[in-house]
Amino acid sequence: MHVWPVDVDAVADVLGEFAPDGVSIEPVIRTLDHDNFVYEYLDAPSLLRSCVAAPFDAMSRRALRRRLTALSLSAPLGRLRYADVRTTDWSDEWKRFFHVLRVGRLVVRPSWEEVEAAPGDLVIDLDPGAAFGTGQHETTRLCLAALDTYLRPGMHILDVGTGSGILSLAAARLGAATIRAIDIDAEAVKVARENVRRNGVENLVVLATGSLGPDWPWPGSAAATADLVVANISSNAAIALLPACAETLRPDGLWIGSGFIESAYGTVVAAVRAAGLRPIATTADGDWRCLIAMKAAH
């Protein structure tokens, strides 16, 4: 049903009494920045949905309507609509869209699929869970391709916003000496840690919840500890973290950044230069961009 914002909480509370699995509230929004998911709420009726156990008979429907009618609301409620819903195991359903992916020498294999590796293939076994990073998104593919091009064996890597850990795993397969991976989402770090274990690279990849700057999770300074920093994050996050990323890089170190679209590209380039890095290459996949920059040698 559609409900004005001021009445949403009251109506949701009543629906929750009849729908123990919760209530979905879908406000009307206007997107202000697609790249960084910035939006504003509009003063328009929100759509409320809830799932009740079948059979939800006529007596139960009348009881729900009576409870809703008794509320003191700013405007009359819209019609209650009922529809049968097929039970779906979404934890398995999304797997239909995640298949084996090849990017250069890298082969990303979902943990539930088989792959016949060719000579020279570097296979990554991945189960992303609820974390970002399957390789299906353009920005992840761009970062994988950039790592395949620019990472040299023996490099020390920092993966900022690791998500599922896919880029850290790629770095490990490409011969990195050490990889530090951070994410502000503790659940993502948990998923990444399991993927690291699955790929048997616990000796190479160290994970922690945190970020650069005051949220650096390890003892000591991050300054000049990385030969390559990869950051598949939004343009706003990239711009905010670029000075710290630059400080983390050693002379001639590389920054690989993605997660932003063409309209934000100029702003990111300006921030890269302001951080003391020199853009050396750009790749694209649809509207998405990946920027590679280098820190000058002293």
| pLDDT of 169 strictly over 70 | yes
Provide mean pLDDT across the span 58-68. Answer: 91
Contact (CB, 8 A) for 144 and 106: yes
d(C-alpha 33, C-alpha 52), whole Å: 36
What CATH topology corresponds to 93-295?
Rossmann fold (3.40.50)
| Structural domain boundaries in the chain | 2-87, 93-295
Phi, psi (5° rounding) for residue 157?
-115, 145
pLDDT at 118: 87
Phi, psi (5° rounding) for residue 78?
-75, 180
d(C-alpha 125, C-alpha 133), whole Å: 12
Q: Identify the residue with better confidence: 99 or 109.
A: 109
Provide mean pLDDT across the span 266-286. Answer: 96
Q: pLDDT tens-digit profile of 176-203?
A: 999 999 999 999 999 999 999 999 999 9
| pLDDT of 156 strictly over 70 | yes
Residue linked to tokens 């509207």: 287
Residue linked to tokens 């500890």: 225
d(C-alpha 230, C-alpha 122), whole Å: 19
d(C-alpha 2, C-alpha 110), whole Å: 40
pLDDT at 31: 80
| pLDDT of 145 strictly over 90 | yes
What are the C-alpha distances in Å from 203 to residues 31, 132, 267? 43, 23, 38
Closest CA to 239 of 260, 263, 216: 260
Q: How many CB atoms lie within 10 A of CB 255?
A: 28
d(C-alpha 207, C-alpha 168), whole Å: 10
pLDDT at 95: 63
Q: Identify the residue with better confidence: 91 or 160.
A: 160
Phi, psi (5° rounding) for residue 210?
160, -165
Query: What does the longest C-alpha to C-alpha distance in the chain come to?
Result: 79
Q: pLDDT tens-digit profile of 226-256?
A: 999 999 999 999 999 999 999 999 999 999 9
Tell me the average pLDDT of the chain: 89
Burial class (CB in 10 A: 0-12, 13-18, 19+), 208: middle
Contact (CB, 8 A) for 44 and 28: yes
